Amino acid sequence: MNNIDIPVITIDGPSATGKGTLAASLAAHLDFHLLDSGSLYRILGVAVARAGLSLDEPEVIAQFARNLDIQFGLHGAGSVALDGEDVSIVIRTDLGSDMASKVGAIPAAREALLDRQLAFRQSPGLVADGRDMGTVVFPDACAKFFLTASTEARAQRRYKQLLDKGIDAIFPALLRELDERDKRDRSRSVSPMQPAGDAIVIDTTELDRSEVMEQVLGWVTAALSRES
């Protein structure tokens, strides 16, 4: 099977819309590979902050991105390692979110991480979660989804997630940071966050995980049938 014949399902949208949970559940259900592209940008962002690199030096950051030692699953299922260190929790903090958005606005950094993302397209298929999966990375995906939700609902979800992980959080600050990140992601000059023209948009504000999964699975089943 040629690489381009391997089916891809993309799930894009802002953070805390449930796209990560949906992508993982869908990949497990279909026995497909999973790409959490946001983790790559979070890892790069945290690494840039730790190294004290300037965001005003895009080529330095791009070269830094190419040389990062990133491993998934090294410390158990779902874990993310940077230079062997388990950073699964660190990249989900406010630092990880904020820096991911900032490095993601640098064209050279996005280009440096593109090959890493494309390499996840392996048989029997891939579910790719991110912000530009359906528009830039996998424009030929057989099924594309864009999840959205109100900023307030997303802030509440993120607040609960952080508290459940033992991470201190302040709700008003989370609300403000989500709003600022949305504006930055939508207005960046390269790969702005927006639904692909052929994406199915789902508002998850009033939906639980099972309801979203049920909707998506129906469309995906139909799309895969057309591909076979």
- Name the residue ranges covered by the structural domains of the chain: 7-222
* Predicted local distance difference test score (pLDDT) of residue 2: 60
Task: List all residues 6 or more positions away from 30 whose beta carbon is below 8 Å from its beta carbon.
Answer: 9, 124, 125, 127, 220, 224
The torsion angle over the Cα atoms of residues 216, 218, 224 and 225, rounded to 10 degrees, is -170
pTM for this structure? 0.85
The torsion angle over the Cα atoms of residues 205, 128, 96 and 159, rounded to 10 degrees, is 20
- The string of pLDDT tens digits covering residues 76-102 is 877 888 999 999 989 988 889 889 989
Q: Which amino acid is at 193?
A: M
Average pLDDT, the chain: 91
Tell me the β-bridge partners of 127. Answer: 9, 34
Query: How would residue 194 be classed by pLDDT, with cut points 50, 70 and 90?
Result: very high
CA distance 118 to 207: 31
Q: Which amino acid is at 46?
A: V
- The string of pLDDT tens digits covering residues 152-182 is 999 999 888 888 878 788 889 888 988 888 8
CA distance 50 to 172: 26
Left if phi > 0, otherwise alpha if psi is -120 to 50, otherwise beta: which for 78? left
* Predicted local distance difference test score (pLDDT) of residue 51: 96
CA distance 18 to 154: 9
CATH number 3.30.1510.10 given to 7-222 = no
Who wins on pLDDT, 191 or 46?
A: 46
- Angle at alpha carbon of residue 74, lines to 70 and 79, rounded to 5°: 80
